[in-house]
DNA sequence: GCAAAAATGGACCTGCAAGTCCAAAGCTTG
DNA sequence: CAAGCTTTGGACTTGCAGGTCCATTTTTGC
């Protein structure tokens, strides 16, 4: 029951999503009007409602999915190859670098409070993102346990949950205070404690 | 140049702020209309603009301040007395209990994305809250260092930053996934690593 | 090359929620 | 007790942003 889309149509749709995402990152969800998206992407109102018949909510959901994917893609290939301490550090550096560059623009922030309540699906998008993110970290920890770099008693899931929380909180604090300290501290101290786990046994 | 307010006036103003805060907690910032606040607090439009001449933004800012204060008050007296390991655990339990009870209602969430951009002052409110919060944690760590329960080499500020990040991220994940795991894991693992620091020396 | 379907443009409608205004009631104070 | 405030109520205005509609152009497939 998916509606037919020509190649040109798909391109336009993608352009709209990307443009809306950028606009939202720069100015915040609630400041962005459909007109802004139209202006930025060179489209008309007819097109918006052609590709997103349910209107703004549907567009927002598409943006949410787009941004959620992007978050993980931006961490590759590091995130999927946490197989040595240098690799972990490279990943850490990538995260810091990425969020520092992004500054106070936030792809997720909007999704949470705003879209989270609006579209019931947006909640699911965020949950899914966090699940995938945590799974990747867990796998990294398990791999390090298999090579003896992390103590076997460490509960990989729990440690990954804590690390993910530290990252999210670090980003949140970057967003609200403009400082990167918290993200760095959370990453460094949590990773250090994983490392210490190896010696502790 | 503060405008005169009789006792009755102050009571009304406070009632409006408290009612608006509750409404926002329950239904989200962007779902709350002035009419909702009026209905809940039994006030008229005239009153709203009498006490908040700048309109909705000014009210939102007042709510932000109110909620920010509440967040810290809810952690007392534990937060200001992190002077022994049992005290730390009591604080940890209070946090978990409080946020578990609060579920997916979020006092801060709205402040960040939404009001954060709207009112320039809301940003400052959040920054101030985080600063006070982190300061309290730092003082707790310093105290534990003074009694030898935490190793002196631990960078108290950095550790507090990491812990605060873990808490914020834990709450964020509770908000988006509905699960308390992350908050618990972040608190437990971070506090444990502070504890381990004493032995490590 | 021609019908059918998809893509595009933009004028128009509509509802709603913030904000305005003023008139009436209630304190409170000399 | 009266004058001057603060407080209150609610009708009215206004602007705007989301959404509707349809006419036109372009693409697709046979």
Contact B58, B52 (CB under 8 A): yes
Cα nearest neighbour of B115 on chain A: A30
Give residue A114's pLDDT.
Answer: 53
The CA-atom distances, in angstroms, between A114 and each of A73, B26, B192 are 23, 14, 35
Whether A147 has a pLDDT exceeding 70, the answer reads yes
Whether A129 has a pLDDT exceeding 80, the answer reads yes
**Would you call B164 and A169 a contact, using CB atoms and an 8 Å cutoff?**
yes
Contact B154, B148 (CB under 8 A): no
- A168 closest CA partner among A119, A108, A125, A110: A108
Instruction: Provide the pLDDT confidence category of residue A130 given band limits of 50, 70 and 90.
Output: very high
- Contact partners, residue B118, CB within 8 Å, separation at least 6: A30, B57, B60
Instruction: Provide the pLDDT confidence category of residue A111 given band limits of 50, 70 and 90.
Output: low
Answer yes or no: is A56 CB < 7 A from strand D: yes
* pLDDT tens per residue across span B42-61: 999 999 999 999 999 999 99
Give residue A1's pLDDT.
Answer: 42
Give residue B118's pLDDT.
Answer: 61
Nucleotides of C under 7 A from a protein CB: 5-12, 16-23, 27-28
Q: In chain B, what residues touch A29 (CB-CB under 8 Å)?
A: 113
Whether A60 has a pLDDT exceeding 70, the answer reads yes
In chain B, what is the straight-line distance between the N-terminal and C-terminal CA atoms, in Å?
Answer: 58
Which DSSP letter does residue B31 get? Answer: G
Give residue A201's pLDDT.
Answer: 42
- Nearest CB among B158, B162, B188 relative to A166 is that of B162
Give residue B30's pLDDT.
Answer: 85
Helix (H) or strand (E) holding A49: helix A45-51
Mean pLDDT across A148-166: 96
Count of helices and strands (H, E) across chain B: 10, 0
Per DSSP, the three-state class of B64 is helix
Question: Distance (Å, rounded) from C-alpha A119 to C-alpha A182?
Answer: 31
Per DSSP, the three-state class of A148 is coil
Give residue B132's pLDDT.
Answer: 97
More confident residue, B115 or B8: B8
Give residue B55's pLDDT.
Answer: 94
Question: Distance (Å, rounded) from C-alpha A147 to C-alpha B105?
Answer: 42
The complex's ipTM works out to: 0.90
CA angle A83, A86, A91 (to 5 degrees): 80
Whether A155 has a pLDDT exceeding 60, the answer reads yes
Question: Distance (Å, rounded) from C-alpha A82 to C-alpha A84?
Answer: 6
- Nearest CB among A27, A113, A185 relative to B28 is that of A113
In order of their start, the domains of chain A are 7-53 (1.10.10), 64-200 (1.10.357)
Whether A123 has a pLDDT exceeding 80, the answer reads yes
* pLDDT tens per residue across span B125-142: 999 999 999 999 999 999
More confident residue, B19 or B201: B19
Q: In chain B, what residues touch A190 (CB-CB under 8 Å)?
A: 162, 166, 189-190
Answer yes or no: is A35 CB < 7 A from strand D: yes
Whether A142 has a pLDDT exceeding 90, the answer reads yes
Query: Which nucleotide is the nearest neighbour of A54, by CA and C1'?
Result: D19
More confident residue, A146 or B3: A146
- CA torsion sign, A60 to A61 to A64 to A66? negative
Minimal Cα–Cα distance from A26 to chain B, Å? 11
**D27 C1' to A132 CA distance, Å:** 40
Mean pLDDT over all residues of chain A? Answer: 90
Give residue A146's pLDDT.
Answer: 96
**D2 C1' to B12 CA distance, Å:** 27
Contact B29, B60 (CB under 8 A): yes
Give residue B1's pLDDT.
Answer: 41
Cα–chain center distance at A161: 15
**Would you call B165 and A176 a contact, using CB atoms and an 8 Å cutoff?**
no
Instruction: Provide the pLDDT confidence category of residue B6 given band limits of 50, 70 and 90.
Output: confident
**D29 C1' to B5 CA distance, Å:** 76
Q: In chain B, what residues touch A173 (CB-CB under 8 Å)?
A: 130, 164-165, 168
Give residue B16's pLDDT.
Answer: 98
Contact B61, B119 (CB under 8 A): yes
- Nearest CB among B27, B123, B185 relative to A162 is that of B185
- Nearest CB among B127, B164, B196 relative to A196 is that of B196
Give residue B160's pLDDT.
Answer: 98
């Amino acid at each position: 029951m998916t509606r037919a889309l020509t190649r040109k149509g798909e391109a336009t749709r993608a352009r709209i999503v990307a443009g809306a995402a950028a606009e939202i990152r720069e100015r915040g969800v609630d400041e962005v009007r459909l007109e802004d998206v139209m202006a930025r992407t060179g489209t008309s109102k007819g097109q918006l409602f052609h590709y997103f018949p349910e209107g703004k909510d549907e567009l927002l959901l598409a943006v949410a999915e787009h941004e959620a994917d992007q978050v993980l893609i931006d961490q590759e290939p590091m995130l999927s190859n946490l197989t040595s301490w240098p690799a972990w550090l490279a990943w850490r550096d990538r995260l810091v670098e990425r969020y520092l560059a992004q500054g106070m623009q936030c792809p997720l922030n909007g999704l949470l409070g705003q879209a989270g309540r609006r579209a019931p699906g947006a909640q699911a998008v965020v949950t899914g993102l966090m699940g995938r993110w945590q799974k990747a970290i867990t796998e990294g920890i398990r791999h390090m346990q298999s090579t003896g770099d992390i103590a076997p008693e460490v509960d990989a899931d729990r440690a990954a949950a804590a690390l993910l929380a530290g990252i999210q909180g670090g980003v949140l604090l970057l967003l609200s205070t403009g400082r990167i300290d918290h993200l760095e501290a959370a990453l460094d101290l949590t990773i250090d404690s994983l490392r210490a786990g190896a010696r502790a046994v």
